[in-house]
Each structure stands twice: as C-alpha cells, then as structure tokens.
Amino acid sequence: MPVFTKGNRLNSILPIRCPRCHKGKFLVHPLSQIFKITRVREQCDHCGVVFKIEPSFYYGSMYIAYALGVAIMGIVSILYWMLAPNFSVLACFAWVVFSLIAMSPFLNGYAKIIWANFFIAYEPETADQNTND
C-alpha cells in the first residue's frame, strides 16, 4: 500500500521496491537478513524490468552510500554531543564507527535502490500488469 502519492519515488525507496512498478521486490534477500550481502535481483518479478542495466551498474551507488554514511555520522555525532555527559572525541568516533558497521547492510540496500531510481522511471501502467500471469 503506497503511503505517498502514486509515482512518488519514496514509494519505491522506503520499502525497497521496483522503481518502475513500485510493487516487485528489488533485493534478493530482505534487509532483515543482515548477514546476507545485499544483492539486486536480475529483473522485477512483477513488471519484468531489468535491474542490472549494464555490468557493474551498482558501483555508482557507492556515491549514495557515502552521502548516507556522512549523514549518519553527523546524526550520531550530534546525538552523542547532546546526550553524553562528558564529550570525548575518541568515544564519539567509536560510536560513529559502530553505527556505520551496524547499519552497513541498510546503507548498501538503500544506496542501491536510490541509485536505481535515478535511472529507472516509474511507469503507472506497469503497476497493474503482472508478467507472471
């Protein structure tokens, strides 16, 4: 069930669904299986769009992962600065590193779906069709 208006990219990004139809699964394994590497499916199981546009396509998602990592670093640093009774740069650094390691599967998965949304547009007519019928 989409939360935002139809065609809004957040309907694809937040639940990690196909950028074209917003219904098919994008990753092979759900992010809840954090010890599995976040692999992208070959194509959408709902509309059939090919997710791997070219070889090594998702290397570009590292730029997105970097930006998300910097955002997490900033948020964790500010939270530590606000909540810790005695500020320590070393402890703040440890919290940042721990947070980035703990959230790395989510960073990787969200970076890939955001990257795919740059190149695959939403097509409302594909949301109603199903290639498996």
Smallest distance from the beta carbon of 15 to Zn ion, in angstroms? Answer: 12
Q: Is 17 in the site for Zn ion (CB under 5 A)?
A: no
Of residues 40, 47, 64, 116, which one binds Zn ion by CB under 5 A? Answer: 47
**Is there binding between residue 21 and Zn ion (CB under 5 A)?**
yes
Is 110:68 a contact under the CB 8 Å cutoff?
A: yes
User: Is the CB of 54 or the CB of 125 nearer to Zn ion?
Assistant: 125
Say how many CA atoms lie within 13 Å of 75 toward its Cβ. Answer: 9
Whichever of 18 and 116 has its CB closer to Zn ion, that residue is 18
User: Could you write out the DSSP letters of every residue in 40-95?
Assistant: B-SB-TTT--BS--STTGGGGHHHHHHHHHHHHHHHHHHHHHHH-SS--HHHHHHH
Binding span for Zn ion by CB under 5 A among 14-22, 70-78, 93-101, 116-124: 14-22
The token duo for 110 is: 């969200």
Residues near Zn ion, by CB under 5 A: 18, 20-21, 24, 44, 46-47
